[in-house]
Amino acid sequence: MHFSRHFKIIIIAITSAILFSSCHSKKLIVKNNADKKDVGSELPDLINRGPYIMVKPGKHIAEKYADIMGVKRSDIENGRLYDFIDQWMGVPYRFGGMDKDGIDCSGLVFLLQLQVYDQPVPRTCATQVEVIKRKYEDELKEGDLVFFDYDGKQFSHVGVYLQNGYILHASTRKGVTIVRLHDRGIYEYFSRCGSVINSTASAQSN
């Protein structure tokens, strides 16, 4: 009887320790579709993971984002990208967020790179900047990352380049939105950009 009670106390203590630690540690790496179950609720809406394939956008999506960025409808070619954007547009900013209740800038980049390009990247701005091949601004192409130094902190904000000078990012004021890189209040903090390199190893280490 005494042993049984002691055993229950041990089980409760172990369970509490696991629950406590899970609040401070999130597994954010997905290797393939079979691993989704390991990610759990940390990555809601983690869909369409798989080999990157260019998919044509629907007419409505193409027209909508062509109008936003001032380009021809035929210039909106990556349906997978713009479907992702359309699902997240307007979602509010929330530091550390990874779902439709709120998402932060690096979380948005993390999910976009994974779901659209099947390219794992680290979770934070400071580590994402370590897995890019640096470029000049005039060399930017769709999917490249752009970094900003806000509040005097180097690489404290990140977005994704689209086309025609527009980027996607999670704004602290407007949530997930598309803006011009040269917009006032943004470009002055622009500090680095580049394309994502094969970062699987770097992502796994984070």
Catalytic residue list: 105, 157, 169
Strands 175-180 and 132-134: unpaired
> How many whole angstroms separate alpha carbon 118 and alpha carbon 115?
6
Name, in order, each residue with C-beta under 8 angstroms of 42's C-beta and a sequence gap of 6 or more. Answer: 26, 27, 28, 98
> How many whole angstroms separate alpha carbon 9 and alpha carbon 70?
65
Which helix H or strand E contains 22, and what residues bound it? helix 2-22
Handedness of CA 103, 108, 114, 116 (dihedral sign): positive
> How many whole angstroms separate alpha carbon 46 and alpha carbon 165?
28
> How many whole angstroms separate alpha carbon 38 and alpha carbon 49?
14
Q: Are 29 and 94 in contact, with CB atoms under 8 Å apart?
A: no
Angle at 133 between CA 131 and CA 134, to 5 degrees: 120
